[in-house]
Chain A
Amino acid sequence: MTKPSPVDYADIQGLVRFGYGALTEASFLLLRIRDAAAARSWLASAPVSNAVALAQAPDTALQVAFTCEGLRALGLNKDVLAGFSAEFYSGMSGDESRSRRLGDVGANSPQYWEWGGQNKEPHLVVMLYARENQLDSWSQAIRGPHWDDVFDLVDSLPTSNLFGVEPFGFKDGISQPAVDWEQHRHVKDDELAYGNMVSLGEFLLGYPNEYGKYTDRPLLPASGETSLLPPAEDKPELHDLGRNGTYLVFRQLAQDVQGFWQFMDRQANSDPQARQKLAEAFVGRKQNGQPLVELNDQPIEGIDKEDAAENQFTFDSDSTGLRCPLGAHIRRANPRTTDLPGAADNVFSRLKHTLGFGETSYGQDVIASTRFHRLLRRGREYGPALSIEDALKPASPDDTGRGIHFISLGANISRQFEFVQNAWLMSSKFAGLNGESDPLLGNREPIPGCPGTNTFSLTQKDAAKHHISSVPQFITVRGGAYFFMPGIRALRFISSAGQ
């Protein structure tokens, strides 16, 4: 393999490296291009924030990402677009097969979406971040006087600052992969320990991924225009439109906070402690973020000391789900499995497990290895906060609703977001379970041979599992799209394309 070159932070949009937590105000403008030439010139001069670390966080930030339609509208030709991944090319809601796999059926169907479904697909998203009380002026400054001649607004998504707590009331955004910016990671065929340090190429195109390979992306032959682009590390004769860019998965997830707590309350016969405990079992963490399983004694690579109290754990110590239910949200979203579960670091043990002779009881080694399926999450909450007490009262008629703008970054939509969504979150068969999907995100739709996926099972000590049935749908997809968030040079290339 070619020796990795150091990362050029100035060529990467800042969101890949930073969550912009200090910039507590944000809004996302979903736009269609009205005038391509004007849009290109706006893009060419837009002050898009890069990933260079500053002494202190900036006051404002701007990020831009495009759908495939958007790149087409800007004049990128078909051959270039076909170099992107098939998922991006067809779009999140572009075909029924994909919707079926993602669980975007029933109430989640794209036909009901507020944006991103048919006829409402944005060309680009402009992401604005600012410190408190500065968003309006930042937004004015960014848009300039002729904005409305350049873009049509599909939707403007406001966000709210809930201080790191998602609308159900749980601390959010705790588990994040550590990105190997230094490119020190040397991937092995079989990683026997769960690690949180993940190859740069999982989150940025143009770098080696967890397989030690370069993910496909558009590589263009040298010409006048493409000289703007960096060369491809693996094929230096070609220019890399993907390098330092990534895919951005955006889903607007409406959360029925009343429905959530009222259900917990009914199940708990209005006992506040039992209610709390049940909600925490659904999530797999306490409200303050503390995991339900015990922490590991040993550190985990890629998890800092300050995150240890919330993240230094795997589920190995809780294989029956006694502490954290097998189907709890955090087990599904990040099962923390290794490449060869149970194997010790010697040839005999490796061979035994590789050939499938290492498992002694039902349900062992049935979850895929986690490191190939990580998501770098950059979402923001929206809507007003609602306390548990208020959530237990009937909804007020002028309530505007609330939820998360789920945003995840990754170099391979199908292996990362779609896999996690399909095989782990929505699957009614995750970890050998049956008839249940993610307790928070599940759509509860029936599947063949199985009338409902609306159960949640709780392991009990020395007794049969307790099944909670008829769990309602708590989260509904209200919009979504796949975007490409280019590197800065690629953005310049895009804004000069088609001219």
Chain B
Amino acid sequence: MIPQSNLMVMAPVAAGRKDDLRQLLLSMNQAPGVADPANKLLPFGLLDELHFARLLILEDPTLADITTAYKLPTPVYPLYFALLCDFDGPQDTFLTKLVGCATEGLTAIFEHCEGFSRGVDLLTWIKQHHRQPATSYANWLGRSMQQVREEAALRLSIRAWLDADNAHLELSPLQLHNELSAYIAAEQRAGRLSLTPEPTTPIIWELRNIAHLIAVPLLLLLLSPLLILYAPFFVIQLRRREQADMEIAPRPAFAYADKLAALEDHDVTNQFSAFGSLKPGLFRRWTLIFILWVINYTTRHIFNRGRLARVTTIHFARWVFLDNKKRLLFASNYDGSLDSYMDDFINKVAFGLNVVFSNGIGYPTTNWLVLDGAKDEQKFKYFIRRHELPTEVWYNGHAGLTALDLQRNTLIRQGLENPGMSDSQLQQWVQLL
């Protein structure tokens, strides 16, 4: 298995360079919201292992909310530029390749950032500016881009074979499995298809993963006496805040919403980038640190086979703290329209959204951390849109394929390579073809 990794290079935009940078970024697109895979700056198409990438300027239009809600001075933060990638294999390998094929382009982009000048070592500079997410999610741990491509080709090949002769549609599941196995094997021998066997998982990764699997519950167990003692105080602190915190969820300006919508629905998958500030004080900060730490455990060890709780449409997502954990960036790649994404948020995982985002300023009022909040549908949708940022450049390595498509293709391949399926397994398998 090839584990997935991520990258987020972030640096302040140099004074007065914002507009130039934005123009430069937009030059990478073939249409609004759709990156040209062969663009001159970052030729994404050359990076076989790249699932998703985005480049954006983190310009938070809601900074003054802290003044509105808590009468605190509006803080001044640097204006950041960020490059985010989700890819297969270790970060070092990817970075070497990235820098190798886009030295000039990366230089041209980073020249708009503070602390970068021609001549600095690009690789070192990028590593220095990488931000580790507090939580990251991948739809299917270990499914590489190579696998995605091979399994998509496999499905098309099987479908073409089925459609070529009506007799194929009358084969029993077992006969079909036998004939297809023979056909696909022949296609592989002829070099028209390849199904690369799963590579061995890097031993270091495996060991670290096991250590993480054990360490987090162990730590929780050790902390549990303290957590239990603290729980009543936590509840009091939480309830007091929940009853006092101000909601800031006006309808976003039509023009802003239209600008965001123009970037959406060009593909079956969409990007989502949202940014905002945490409620002031240590209580919310530590609550969120703890929650994201726990969620990260679940995404790493539990929700890594096609579902984030009930949601099947998210390919990759991450939550990243910024500025001394006073701000949070959320970036995801999801299938369907924003409306259906929010529908999932509200109707399927409102509790999950609430535990995280209710620590952000202005979020619709929650109760007991998990209740209400996102269930206030309209306010929640306004809140989300208002905190969303335009993603200047977005690249999808497998346009046209939803997470469910990828899952189905994997299941088709697994079934094909499994000679010992039971009758009911065979029945289910033929329905996937």
Contacts and interface: CB of A to CB of B under 8 A. Distances in A.
10 contacts: A101-B265, A211-B375, A362-B404, A368-B344, A427-B336, A434-B408, A448-B399, A449-B401, A462-B427, A464-B168
B265 A100 contact: yes
B267 interface: yes
A355 to B, nearest CB: 5
A344 to B, nearest CB: 16
A434 B337 CA distance: 16
B339 A414 contact: yes
A419 B339 contact: yes
Given A216-B378, A362-B411, A449-B400, A339 B267 contact: no
Given A362-B432, A368-B343, A89 B254 contact: yes
B257 interface: yes
B310 A86 contact: no
Given A213-B378, A429-B402, A467-B159, A423 B309 contact: no
B340 A459 contact: no
Contacts of A89: 254
B431 interface: yes
B339 A95 contact: no
Given A432-B408, A447-B268, 18 more contacts: A90-B254, A96-B262, A101-B337, A216-B378, A354-B310, A361-B428, A363-B404, A363-B408, A372-B343, A372-B347, A414-B339, A422-B340, A423-B337, A429-B402, A463-B170, A463-B171, A463-B176, A466-B169
Contacts of B433: 464-465
A415 interface: yes
A161 interface: no
A6 interface: no
A354 B343 CA distance: 15
Interface in A409-465: 414-415, 418-419, 422-423, 427-429, 432, 434, 447-450, 459-460, 462-465
Given A215-B378, A355-B309, A450 B400 contact: yes
Nearest to A95: B258
B65 interface: no
Contact of A369 (B312, B347, B351): B347
Nearest to A189: B375
Q: Please list the 10 inter-chain residue pairs (A to B) with the smallest Cβ-Cβ separation, ordered nearest first.
A: A449-B400, A97-B261, A449-B399, A448-B399, A356-B307, A423-B340, A356-B309, A450-B400, A356-B310, A448-B267
A429 B404 contact: yes
B169 A464 contact: yes
Interface in A335-378: 339, 353-356, 359, 361-363, 365-366, 368-369, 372
Contacts of A419: 339-340, 343
Contact of A95 (B173, B261, B340): B261
B7 to A, nearest CB: 24
Nearest to A326: B431
B339 A422 contact: yes
A175 interface: no
Interface in B337-352: 337, 339-340, 343-344, 346-347, 351
A97 B264 contact: yes
A469 interface: yes
A469 B176 CA distance: 21
A418 B381 CA distance: 15
Nearest to B402: A429
Nearest to A100: B265
Interface in B377-402: 377-378, 398-402
Contact of A447 (B267, B346, B347, B405): B267
A99 B55 CA distance: 27
B418 interface: no
B171 A464 contact: yes
Contacts of A432: 404, 408
B303 interface: yes
Chain B residues touching A, majority SS = helix
Contacts of B407: 362
Most chain B CB atoms below 10 A, which of A82, A418, A459, A462: A462
A139 interface: no
Contacts, number: 142
Most chain B CB atoms below 10 A, which of A89, A101, A353, A448: A448
A216 B431 CA distance: 44
A414 B308 CA distance: 25
Contact of A460 (B169, B254, B411): B169
Contacts of A465: 430-431, 433
A389 to B, nearest CB: 28
A354 B309 contact: yes
Most chain B CB atoms below 10 A, which of A356, A460, A465: A356
A359 B400 contact: no
B251 A368 contact: no
Contacts of A447: 267-268, 400
A320 interface: yes
Contact of B347 (A90, A95, A101, A368): A368
A469 B163 contact: yes
B322 to A, nearest CB: 29
B335 interface: yes
Contact of B398 (A101, A356, A449): A449
A434 B303 CA distance: 24
B172 interface: yes
Nearest to B261: A97
B376 interface: yes
Nearest to B385: A86
A448 B265 contact: no
B347 A339 contact: yes
Nearest to A468: B163
Interface in B262-309: 262, 264-268, 303, 307-309
Nearest to A430: B336
A463 B430 contact: yes
B162 interface: yes
B344 A353 contact: no
Interface in A7-48: none
A277 B73 CA distance: 70
Interface in B198-213: none
B169 to A, nearest CB: 5
A213 B377 contact: yes
A434 B268 CA distance: 11
B372 to A, nearest CB: 10
Contact of B335 (A355, A356, A429, A460): A429
Contacts of A462: 172-173, 427, 430
